[in-house]
Structure 1
Amino acid sequence: MSKYLVDKFLFTIDRDPELVERYREQPRETVEWWEAERANAVLNCHAGEASTWLRFTEEERDALANHDHVALFALGAHPFLTLTLFIAMFERDHGPLEYQKAFGARLAHFQMPYPDIAT
């Protein structure tokens, strides 16, 4: 599993309001597009710089495509990256702090030590 790649996806999508909306409305298509077009681009680097080997596992791809923050947490995705992106996508559908509380409640079954979030 590439925690780096999952975290890179969460980070880059969250930084672009158009991509946030695209991911909200068309999650699987956005994940597939991002993996094909952006996964191997080097962050904060000149155009043309890229690697060639980064790919999501099926488990990562499915968790991202299903907006499954519990599975992403279990896989080691950074919880702050996940939370900030998911707030941008879903908070508008809920009352004040309602989404954040539900997000946390769905993670309540995890016991310490939590999954490793180091990349």
Structure 2
Amino acid sequence: MSKYLLNKFLFTVDRDPELVERYREAPRELVTWWEATMANSLLNCHDGEDSTWLAFTDDERDALIARDHVRLFAMGAHPFLALTLFIAVFERDNTEPLEYQKAYGAALSGYTLPYPDIAT
């Protein structure tokens, strides 16, 4: 399992409106494409410098495709990275102010300290 790769996915997709829309409309295709094309690119580096070994586990891939923030949190994904991406994906479907954020918090309410380790 790579918490780094989970968090990298959440971070990079959230910062690109086109990727957010692709994740909203076709999560399986976006996750598959991202893993194949972006997972091994290094953040903040020159083009052409890539890693070769990073890949999601089946559980990570499935949780990303399902957009299951509770499973992702349990795996060590940073809750704020997940929250900001999922706000971009789901908030427009809600009618009440902060409705998605409240549901997000409620879904994680079963966790008590110590929380899953989010260090990468």
Taking structure 1 as the reference length, the TM-score comes to: 0.98
The Cα offsets for residues 24-43 of structure 1, whole Å up to 9 and x where unpaired, read as 11101100100000000000
> How do 1:48-87 and structure 2 match up within 5 A?
48-87=48-87
Give the SS at the match of 2:116.
Answer: coil
Q: Which residue of 1 aligns with 2:99?
A: 98
Q: Read off the aligned partner of 1:32 and give its amino acid letter.
A: T
Gaps of at least 5 residues in structure 2 are none
Structure 2: how far apart are the matches of 1:28 and 1:74? 21
Partner of 1:115: 116
RMSD of aligned Cα (Å): 0.5
How many residues align structurally?
119
- 1:113 to partner: Cα distance: 0.4
**What's the CA shift string for 1:28-66, capped at 9, x where partnerless?**
110010000000000011111100000000000000000
Structure 1 stretches lacking a partner, 5+ long: none
User: In structure 2, how many angstroms separate the alpha carbons of the residues matched to 1:48 and 1:26?
Assistant: 28
Question: What one-letter code is carried by the residue in structure 2 that aligns with 1:26?
Answer: A
Q: TM-score, normalised by structure 2?
A: 0.98
Superposition deviation, residue 3 in structure 1: 0.1
Q: Which stretches of structure 1, 4 residues or more, deviate above 2 A after TM superposition?
A: none
Which residue does the alignment assign to 1:14?
14
| SS of structure 2 residue aligned to 1:108 | coil
Equivalent AA in structure 2 for residue 9 of structure 1: F
Q: 1:37-48 counterparts in 2 under 5 A? A: 37-48=37-48
Identity %: 74
Distance 2:92 2:29 in 1: 22
